[in-house]
Amino acid sequence: MKKFYDRYKHAIPLIIYGIIYLTWFTYLEKHVTRPANLIHMSLDDVIPFCEFFVVPYFLWFFYVSAVVVYFFFKDKQDYFRSCVFLFTGMTIFLIISTLWPNGHHLRPAVMPRDNIFTRLVAFLYHTDTPTNLWPSIHVYNSLGTHFAVIRNEKLRKNPAVHTASLILCVSIILSTMFIKQHSVFDVLTAFIMAAVMYIVVYGIDIVTIWQNHRYEVRARKQIRQV
């Protein structure tokens, strides 16, 4: 049992944060249904509604989770980098949604067509209210996931994986606007936040700094005990 714990104990932060995030987000979805602050840009009116983009929008759930799970088993260092990147942005999103309730009126009142894709969009609209949108976590996490892929020593040597990740990342980002889930403003601000976190996580490499600090503290304790 101890060997199992030592091998997989790095799942604990992910589980704890997952519970916190889902609880907090569910609370916001139930209690923030009429946002006081509407988000809108003129570009939003130019972008047409295109239901086919609902496919990459839903693929986001697989994309992000698959990469995190891969690093969980294959590269603990990049796993922690991904967690820091994703958790930080998601927490900022929750805080903003709590202190500055926001939403939009971009969704079409009536679906322009009737097909499997518009039905999927209608299902999405029913389950996900047009509130708590800024910045777009779909965009931010997609960027964070792609950064994790291209920065990983093993994955970035595989051009097929690199290209597939880029195509999926771009498709998801576009989907948020084409199915009217997010304003262009949500997307742009998610890019800015992701750029800042890229510097923190991969430029400064805060995970390695933190780990080195822990090793130094442990070494000092061992020296004192001797």
SS3 108: coil
Distance CA 128, CA 26 (A): 10
CA nearest 87: which of 14, 22, 34? 14
Tell me which residue has tokens 């570009």: 43
Please give the angle made by the CA atoms of 80, 86 and 90, to the nearest 5 degrees.
140
Per-residue pLDDT averaged across 119-134, rounded? 92
* Tokens, residue 107: 């969704």
Per-residue pLDDT averaged across 51-57, rounded? 97
81-116 tens-digit pLDDT: 999 999 999 999 999 999 999 999 999 989 999 999
This model's pTM is above 0.85: yes
Which residues have CB under 8 Å from 115's CB, separation 6+? Answer: 51
193-217 tens-digit pLDDT: 999 999 999 999 999 888 887 777 6
Q: Is the peptide bond before 159 cis (omega within 30 degrees of 0)?
A: no
Which residues have CB under 8 Å from 216's CB, separation 6+? Answer: none
SS3 37: strand
Distance CA 14, CA 77 (A): 14
